[in-house]
Chains A and B, each alone.
Chain A
Amino acid sequence: MAAIKQTFFQECEEQLVELESGLLRMEDGDDDLETVNAVFRAVHSIKGGAGAFGFDELVEFVHVFETTLDLIRSAKLAATPAVTKTLLRASDVLADLVRAAREGGSADAGAVKVIADELNALLGSAPRSDDDDEKVSVESLEFEPVCISLDSIFDLGDADAPSTQDFILRFKPSAGLYAKANETLRLLRELGRLGEMTVECDISEIPLLTELDPEGAYLSWTIHLTTSVSEQQVREVFEFVEWDCELSVETADIGKLLEALQESLEPQEAPVAPAAVAEPKQTIVSAAPPQQSFAAPSDDHPAAAKAEATKGEGSGSVQATIRVDLDRVDRLINLVGELVINQAMLSQRVSEAGLSRASSVVIGLDELEQLTRDIQDSVMAIRAQPVKPVFQRMSRTVREVASMTGKAVRLVMDGETTEVDKTVVERLTDPLTHMIRNAVDHGIEKAEDRIAAGKPEEGSLRLSAMHRSGRIVIEVADDGAGINRARVRQIAVSKGLIPAEANLTDDEIDNLIFLPGFSTASSVSNISGRGVGMDVVKRAIQALGGRISISSVPGRGSTFSMSLPLTLAVLDGMVVTVGGQTLVVPLTAIIETLQPKKESVHELGSGARVIATRNTFTPLIDVGAVLLYRDEPIEATSQVALLVESESGAKCALLVDAIQGQRQVVIKSLETNYGHVHGIAAATILGDGRVALILDVDAIVARPRADMIVAEMPAAAE
């Protein structure tokens, strides 16, 4: 049951996305019935599950929501912009309630009530449907579902039980009863479970064979039932067929019953037990071919035929998707990683063997390489998901921030079907939410300012995704005022982030907003502020192996552009040699590579060194010494330095012996296979089969530096 609850919440997520996208389509003027139906179904589905799990608060709200949608569906309520707006907000509240149900908390009762009232108001404004009246009348015919206790059946065997009652039922089915696959036999059997029963069949209405309608109903029954259950429970047996039969239920006093019994005994043999009743009926009815199934209780022939058909359990037919345990996919990805590595090893061996390029082995190997790459792409595609769910969530963010700031903003989405690895999708939400909040709060101007600037009153925000050279590029573009460079510069100076006299290009100024500690809002607003700046966004993107950039045109708006890898299982790396070992440095961390010149390297004492680059000093770290590949740091000028930036924005230069080249590597966890090593993020396997470690740039940059403390002492500084 817990697993099903899990499924329910997963499905809720999907339904909420479906709901919102349907409502957004409706907002755009799509009044297609299928759209409205899809929206209705989404809400209806959530209600079904919520009811089953007893989430009463949720059920209550969904019910009102559903009723409103039903009115729209039946064209009793028009989906005006005002109405869809309310529905969209209702979908937000619904999402909150679902989350509350999942996490065991409770949603903001005030917000729920506001929307519920609005929905109720919509219901009130629509012409009252006569549904309600109909409901009452139908329901009054309905019976309270009651579990039949087995005890009561056993009690019935006791003829002396004081509470037993005798009923005489007269039952005459119409042809419609059989057409709906109901069967008198089953009804009689059910009745038989309630007590002691005698059945009498009236065959007097059976016509001559020539006049017989094979689909007609000619039999009627008189049933004497002695039972301790109520008349209501007796009637309940006929619940499904009450429209398709004539039924009378009378309580009989003993004298009348005996009399009736006496009569019934005359034409036939003694009272028959329910099971035996089947026999005579069978022979009579088997004359009518379409009612064959009536003759089925013998259970051998049709059942045998079914046996083969039902052998293959589970879904019988086409299924567009399957759900697979993520572990299995991960294992497959791992194996393909091994395959890629193995293939690379093989290539290297073959090239070492000095075979001719035209030899069949080399040609075959090329084909293998192509195949391997295709397999790798296909396997990665299994984990790929469209960015749509994340994008969809942003429309809510826009609505919220817009209403908080009193701005009119329209979100336009582009390329939502663009696919990217599941892990990347999951980690996109936070940075995107932050950027969207920023764009609405800071980017887009208030309506009056927009009108004054000759722009449409409603601001526009475009969220787009596309594939570009093996990466996914996501853009957040607003048509607001653009970055106020004078102000950004002034803030950066006042916060000591740049010197007052610094000469910066427009681009450089724009990029200042990514600096830690930078915030354009004079006071931290509770919308975009939340104590986080764009530096956090930048770090989140970098953690995903991505880059972020900004371009802005004053008066026309700003565009944030993120370039992200399609998967986190493969890494773009710089392969370097350090102390005879091969290491991989993540490419996203590297700003540039340089050849240290003697005059730019300065000793701070105790072995600590800095390198002068572009008028600043950057700590110089000998990777070989940090990883204990060698005892003594070696001469900087004989080496190559990689200028790297950690996620926190700290820069430093890493000294390595040589650069071998740039390549994509398959990431293998070192923790799983070996253990945690400080300064190392993961491992990969190279073409020659050797393990190469992937450097953890952040750990190296942030490592405690005892030597630097020494360096700060006045005596050491020369």
Chain B
Amino acid sequence: MSKTILTVDDSRTMREMLMLALSEAGFSVVQAEDGVHGLEVLEKETPDVIVTDINMPRMDGFGFIEGVRRHEKHRAVPILVLTTESDGEKKDRARRAGATGWIVKPFNPVKLVDAIRRVAV
């Protein structure tokens, strides 16, 4: 039974790259374009893992992670944050917001799947 990953990213390029890498690895993918949209999607979907960007319009990654953790149904879903290499501070903030782990951008598919496997059952 394939796992479902929710990707939250405002960049179409990044969404498509995630989609390609994840579906090739056998995951089902659900997409959202920003934090607000991500929380909307979570009303209906129950992903096994969430992968989210930080810089997004309407609601950024920090707000989104906090929103997910407040959500009774999804508070225990692993959330991986996409960060740029030098974003030590952001990584820290994401962690405080409740992120499970992170993926360094630009990601390579092996590392991505590896990180997902590491947090997902």
By a beta-carbon cutoff of 8 Å, the part of chain A in contact with chain B is 1, 3-4, 7-8, 10-11, 37-38, 40-41, 44-45, 47-49, 51-52, 131, 134-135, 137-139, 142, 145, 147-148, 178-183, 185-186, 190, 237, 239-240, 243, 290-293, 296-297, 299, 303, 305-307, 309-310, 313-319
Contacts of A49 in B (CB 8 A): 11, 13-14
For B, the interface residue count at a CB cutoff of 8 angstroms equals 58
CB pair A315 B121 closer than 8 Å: no
Known contacts A41-B55, A47-B84: A134-B118 contact under CB 8 Å: no
Question: Cα distance A240–B102 when bound, in Å?
Answer: 7
- Chain B nearest CB from A466 CB (Å) reads 29
Question: Cα distance A183–B100 when bound, in Å?
Answer: 9
Name the residue of chain A whose CB is nearest to the CB of B4. A310
Contacts of B57 in A (CB 8 A): 37-38, 41
By a beta-carbon cutoff of 8 Å, the part of chain B in contact with chain A is 1, 4, 10-14, 16-17, 20, 28-33, 37, 40-41, 43-48, 55-57, 69, 75-79, 84, 86, 88-89, 91-92, 95, 98-102, 104-107, 110-111, 114, 117-121
Is the contact region of chain A dominated by helix, strand, or loop, or is it mixed?
Answer: helix
Name the residue of chain A whose CB is nearest to the CB of B91. A138
27 contacts between A and B (CB under 8 A): A4-B20, A10-B12, A38-B57, A45-B10, A47-B84, A48-B105, A48-B106, A49-B11, A49-B14, A135-B88, A138-B88, A139-B88, A142-B88, A179-B69, A180-B95, A180-B98, A182-B78, A183-B119, A186-B118, A237-B118, A240-B102, A292-B76, A293-B76, A299-B121, A310-B28, A314-B31, A316-B32
Question: Cα distance A179–B110 when bound, in Å?
Answer: 27
Question: Cα distance A178–B111 when bound, in Å?
Answer: 23
Question: Cα distance A142–B120 when bound, in Å?
Answer: 21
Contacts of A48 in B (CB 8 A): 11, 13-14, 84, 105-106
Known contacts A48-B11, A182-B101, A317-B37: A147-B17 contact under CB 8 Å: no
Known contacts A52-B106, A314-B31: A4-B13 contact under CB 8 Å: yes
CB pair A316 B105 closer than 8 Å: no
Question: Cα distance A620–B13 when bound, in Å?
Answer: 58
Name the residue of chain A whose CB is nearest to the CB of B104. A145
Question: Cα distance A165–B57 when bound, in Å?
Answer: 49
Partner of B101, one of A142, A239, A296: A239
Name the residue of chain B whose CB is nearest to the CB of A44. B55
Contacts of A319 in B (CB 8 A): 33
CB pair B100 A314 closer than 8 Å: no
CB pair A310 B105 closer than 8 Å: no
Question: Cα distance A22–B105 when bound, in Å?
Answer: 25
Contacts of B91 in A (CB 8 A): 138
Name the residue of chain B whose CB is nearest to the CB of A294. B76
Known contacts A52-B17, A148-B114: A309-B46 contact under CB 8 Å: yes
CB pair A131 B89 closer than 8 Å: yes
CB pair B11 A306 closer than 8 Å: no
Contacts of B10 in A (CB 8 A): 41, 45
CB pair B30 A297 closer than 8 Å: no
CB pair A318 B40 closer than 8 Å: yes
- Chain B nearest CB from A576 CB (Å) reads 49
CB pair A40 B119 closer than 8 Å: no
Known contacts A181-B76, A313-B29: A51-B105 contact under CB 8 Å: yes
CB pair A315 B41 closer than 8 Å: yes
Known contacts A134-B88, A139-B88: A8-B13 contact under CB 8 Å: yes
Partner of A306, one of B4, B56, B84, B118: B4
CB pair B16 A4 closer than 8 Å: yes
Known contacts A11-B12, A240-B119: A309-B1 contact under CB 8 Å: no
Question: Cα distance A293–B100 when bound, in Å?
Answer: 14
Contacts of A190 in B (CB 8 A): 117-118
Known contacts A7-B13, A317-B37: A138-B55 contact under CB 8 Å: no
- Chain A nearest CB from B55 CB (Å) reads 5
- Chain B nearest CB from A370 CB (Å) reads 38
